[in-house]
Amino acid sequence: MNPLQAIGWRWTPPTLDPAWAALMAAHPDARPARITEQHRSGYAVSEAIDVAHRAESLPEWQRAGSYRKGEINPESRPAVGDWVLVEGEAPNALRIVALLPRFSAIKRGAAGEHYKQQVIAANIDTVFVVCGLDADFNPRRIERYLMLVGGSGVQPVIVLTKADKDSADVEAALHELRAFGTPVLALNAKDRDSASALAPWLGEGQSIVLVGSSGAGKSTLTNTLLGSERMKTGAVRESDDRGRHTTTHRALIALPSGTCMIDTPGMRELKPTGEEVVAESFADIEALAAQCKFNDCKHLREPGCAVRAAIESGEVDAQRVANFLKLSGEVAGAANTLAVRLAQKSGPRPQGKPQSRRINNEHDG
């Protein structure tokens, strides 16, 4: 097997994106590799599972000033999961010479003053939104994740863990979540047969990520899919009493099925970029809204509101509608911040504002 296949490469010349083929033709001495880490000063790339090396990147991806001058959008820098072309030999002479265009990208609104958004994981096929059928069960949080990955090009799948627990009301949960229009499964993350329900998304050459709150069962599920105890789970952690963050970090994990799982810390801190289309992950509400009397209906107390009527008749959950309105407000807020930032960037620099201040926070960790 081509060692790249274990880290998600699945293309052959006939299935290769023409843009990729063109870049490869332009760099005949280069070969593909995948980004596993992105740092302030450079990158780590992998050409086979469990091996990653530092690689020198193009100068325009390094200079902080390039962002400020608007020469390079941070989104056009490689991120974890990106395929790049490299030249030279590891460990000391690897150089990235080109970024291959990504087919999907999970982004988040960036904390920095300058850039609008940051790519957290690129070239992912499926994101499993993991939620336990215990006290962790929270449809509103699931809706938030679905909204954040909506429009990324990544297929979301809801995975409800802890279905084996006596207290789990599996049928009620499945019934509620099926209305979301996203595939949903309930399983026991500790059990291999149960976890095999994920097989349709775990084909060879697929790339996946798991998101979900602490304790949802992500490490447990990963271990079960791996078939061995490779990640430390909550249980281990409790006994060593060192709190969180004991999970050994490994960016690309090869599952026996030939799927590449990407584990990147940024996935834990998703927040809106302002470019999300909330309605996309609320298709049921969007369909109702199309029937409201006023086409700018806010679904609050307008007459002829089909959304309110559907709440009354029990067709749609009032909390789901409330969350839709809340998330729409958050995205609108983020979009506003984004617009202000872009305007400041293109307009003249405010008087008396020191240049150096503007460079702060430009980097991700």
Ligand X SMILES: Nc1nc2c(ncn2[C@@H]2O[C@H](COP(=O)(O)OP(=O)(O)OP(=O)(O)O)[C@@H](O)[C@H]2O)c(=O)[nH]1
Q: Which residue numbers belong to the known binding site for GTP?
A: 161-164, 212-220
Alpha carbons within 13 A on the beta-carbon side of 47: 16
Question: By CB under 5 A, is residue 260 in contact with Zn ion?
Answer: no
Q: Return the one option of ligand X, Zn ion, none that residue 297 interacts with (CB less than 5 to 8 A, by type).
A: Zn ion
Neighbours of 355 (CB within 10 A): 8
Alpha carbons within 13 A on the beta-carbon side of 141: 18
Question: By CB under 6 A, is residue 257 in contact with ligand X?
Answer: no
**Rounded least distance, CB 244 to ligand X, Å:** 6
Residue 267 φ/ψ, nearest 5 degrees: -65, -15
When binding is defined by CB under 5 A, the residue of 55, 85, 305, 311 that contacts Zn ion is 305
Please say which residue, 292 or 338, places its beta carbon nearer to Zn ion: 292
Q: Is 312 left (phi over 0), alpha (psi -120 to 50) or beta?
A: alpha
Span 180-199, contacts to ligand X by CB under 6 A: 188-190
Q: Please name the amino acid found at residue 14.
A: P
When binding is defined by CB under 6 A, the residue of 36, 117, 233, 273 that contacts ligand X is 233
**Rounded least distance, CB 297 to Zn ion, Å:** 3
Question: Burial, 101: exposed, middle or buried (Cβ in 10 Å; 0-12, 13-18, 19+)?
Answer: middle
DSSP, collapsed to helix, strand or coil, labels residue 355 as helix
Please say which residue, 46 or 222, places its beta carbon nearer to ligand X: 222
Please say which residue, 34 or 299, places its beta carbon nearer to Zn ion: 299
CB 190 within 8 A of CB 224: yes
Residue 6 φ/ψ, nearest 5 degrees: -70, -20
Candidates 30-38, 50-58, 201-209, 218-226: pick the segment binding ligand X (CB under 6 A). 218-226
Please say which residue, 77 or 162, places its beta carbon nearer to ligand X: 162
CB 338 within 8 A of CB 324: no
Q: At what angle do helices 139-149 and 318-346 cross, to 10 degrees?
A: 40
Please say which residue, 121 or 216, places its beta carbon nearer to ligand X: 216
**Rounded least distance, CB 330 to Zn ion, Å:** 19
**Rounded least distance, CB 243 to ligand X, Å:** 10
Question: By CB under 5 A, is residue 297 in contact with Zn ion?
Answer: yes
Q: Residue ranges for the binding site for Zn(2+)? A: 292, 297, 299, 305
How do strand 126-132 and strand 155-161 relate by DSSP bridges? Answer: parallel
Question: By CB under 6 A, is residue 217 in contact with ligand X?
Answer: yes
Residues that bind ligand X (CB under 6 A): 161-162, 164-165, 188-190, 212, 214-220, 233-235, 244, 247
Q: Which residues bind Zn ion (CB under 5 A)?
A: 292, 297, 299, 305, 307
